[in-house]
Chain A
């Protein structure tokens, strides 16, 4: 089956620093998604990427869909304490009929700790 390798596994940074994390896959995806999960909660969608090469921002977050469709990165600028949590990448495929839906393959997650 498909596997996503997400790195780094954890990051300890100072408030105000920028953060970068990435995911690579052994096969291509049609959509790349980035989620954040707080303790005891479900993942919350941060950014969705639909086209190879696409660069999308959501406030201080910026994500890119790799040209090869096998990778994606997420950057967080000027981190703040509430950025703490686990960040997951997820790849989504469509089926042979061209339909697409939320069947996701997840990375292992990046645990982000921000020191004030």
Chain B
């Protein structure tokens, strides 16, 4: 049973570029959440997708957008990258029950130069 998978594992971009990160949820999960974790900080909630729609969003600008596909996989897109977007981006999946445990993927390390 595959857990949550993410790709790529590492990425280097320059300011102003755009990036797309991908996530496949754990088998049996249909809810995907994305988080940004800066060095030395806890993960910050970006948004959550359920039934191919954004259900909840954290305090991130519109440069951060996402998508969920019919097979429940998800993408995170970040436009007009800033140096401050350098972080570990974590995807977590869960069953569609309020308060259900979330399981994290290994993350994508993004470095913006």
Do A and B associate with each other?
Answer: no
